[in-house]
């Protein structure tokens, strides 16, 4: 199975989703429960409909991984989750586009409501479809990064911008956008989680340490009967996925998987350590060289497109590798 399908199925459970919101967004304080979450559209529209004479841009759609409308008392917030395995050096731009698109969707809904009930509106309120008292729902996105390499990309929009020669006084007035990245393999603790998100994240972060895995299995009874969706997450992101998926059928019963038994078989295979070391040594040099080259090219592309006010091409290049390569060729980067 594709990893995005597996992670989507795992976090489609609202109790797990609420666990991420509480654990990451609320410092472990259980403000919300699964019943406080509501399904939300993951589609983000951009462009506009063609008017008379064929004028206007064609509407295009992008899809974020997961989104929930979350109740906090009488108010709501829109909270997204993005699952990331590789480093995307333009991620701040992509996630900013997702959240801005969500605000745009909310504003469009308000506009429709205002136009349907235009009584008592000022000229500006009617023209722009937004009352003085209209409000949008707070929107944010948590990025769950499962990669083995430490995240060395930008963690905010300013990290993508070339401020060389720009006065500090002006830099302070350039709006920033913060990324909320959780490096799963580098979490110091998972005690803030109260569902099997804890077991999944623990196994992923210790998956290269056989002794730690043994300790987990001995100390955590939850691994004895792990939900199938949780087992699939471990198999997909911890490594040795093909082997673990084969074990699942052998140790599955009633939607639960006896992970302890399956993993003990895995740990008994001493060849695993050699396979891991071989893969790491073979990949290390190429990964480091490739990351540095791509980071340098993307930085030059951002400067070039920003200087030409081609923000639409910049956003598309951040999301679409094919378009990014097209821009590299066009600009000689």
Q: Which two tokens stand for residue 288?
A: 């480091």
The alpha carbon dihedral of 61, 66, 72, 77 has a sign of negative
Closest CA to 137 of 86, 186, 74: 74
Task: Write phi, then psi, for 70 (nearest 5 degrees).
Answer: -115, 125
Residue with tokens 């603790």: 189
Please state the domain extents for the chain: 1-195, 283-333
Residue with tokens 């390499």: 149
3-state secondary structure of 83: strand
Residue 279: the pLDDT is 58
State the first-to-last Cα distance of the chain, in angstroms, to the nearest integer: 36
**Cβ atoms of residues 196 and 189 within 8 Å:** no
| Distance separating alpha carbons of residues 275 and 208, to the nearest angstrom | 11
| Distance separating alpha carbons of residues 178 and 187, to the nearest angstrom | 19
Q: Which two tokens stand for residue 262?
A: 């399956």
Per-residue pLDDT in tens (0 to 9) along the chain, 333 residues: 588 899 999 999 999 999 999 999 999 999 999 999 999 988 887 766 554 455 666 777 888 999 999 999 999 999 999 999 999 999 999 999 999 999 999 999 999 999 998 888 999 999 999 999 999 999 999 999 999 999 999 999 999 999 999 999 999 999 999 999 999 999 999 999 999 999 999 999 998 888 888 888 888 888 888 898 998 999 889 876 666 776 676 677 777 888 777 677 766 664 555 555 555 655 666 666 776 777 778 778 877 877 787 777 877 887 788 888 888 888 888
Residue 52: the pLDDT is 46
CA distances from 206 to 1, 85, 185, 211, 278 (A): 23, 16, 7, 9, 18
Exposed, middle or buried: residue 170 (CB in 10 Å: 0-12, 13-18, 19+)?
exposed
Residue 45: the pLDDT is 76
Residue 211: the pLDDT is 86
Q: Which two tokens stand for residue 266?
A: 């895995």
Residue 55: the pLDDT is 60
Task: Write phi, then psi, for 40 (nearest 5 degrees).
Answer: -135, 155
Rounded (10°) angle between helices 3-11 and 228-237:
140
* pTM of structure: 0.75
């Amino acid at each position: 199975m594709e990893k995005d399908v597996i992670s989507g199925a795992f976090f489609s459970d609202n109790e797990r989703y609420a666990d991420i919101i509480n654990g990451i967004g609320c410092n472990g304080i259980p403000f919300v429960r699964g019943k406080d979450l509501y399904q939300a559209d993951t589609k983000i529209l951009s462009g506009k409909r063609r008017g008379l004479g064929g004028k206007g841009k064609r509407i295009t759609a992008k899809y974020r991984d997961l989104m929930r409308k979350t109740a906090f008392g009488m108010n709501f917030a829109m909270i997204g989750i993005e699952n990331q395995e590789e480093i995307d050096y333009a991620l701040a731009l992509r996630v900013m586009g997702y959240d801005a698109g969500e605000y745009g969707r909310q504003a469009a809904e308000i506009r429709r409501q205002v136009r349907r009930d235009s009584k008592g509106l000022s000229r500006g309120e009617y023209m722009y479809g937004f009352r003085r008292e209209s409000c949008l729902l707070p929107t944010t996105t948590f990025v769950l990064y499962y990669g083995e390499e430490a995240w060395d990309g930008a963690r905010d929009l300013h990290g993508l911008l070339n401020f060389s020669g720009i006065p500090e006084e002006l830099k302070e007035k350039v709006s920033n956008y913060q990324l909320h990245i959780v490096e799963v393999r580098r979490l110091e603790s998972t005690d803030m989680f109260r569902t099997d998100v804890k077991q999944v994240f623990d196994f992923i972060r210790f998956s290269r340490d056989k002794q730690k895995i043994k300790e987990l299995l001995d100390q955590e009874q939850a691994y004895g009967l792990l939900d199938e969706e949780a087992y699939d997450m471990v198999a997909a992101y911890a490594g040795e996925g093909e082997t673990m998926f084969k074990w699942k059928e052998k140790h599955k019963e009633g939607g639960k998987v006896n992970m302890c038994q399956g993993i003990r078989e895995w740990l008994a295979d001493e060849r695993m350590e050699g396979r891991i070391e071989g893969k790491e040594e073979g990949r290390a040099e190429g990964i480091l060289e490739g990351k540095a080259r791509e980071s340098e090219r993307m930085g030059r592309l951002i400067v070039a497109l920003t200087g030409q006010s081609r923000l639409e091409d910049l956003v598309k290049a951040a999301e679409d590798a094919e378009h990014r390569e097209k821009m590299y060729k066009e600009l000689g980067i």
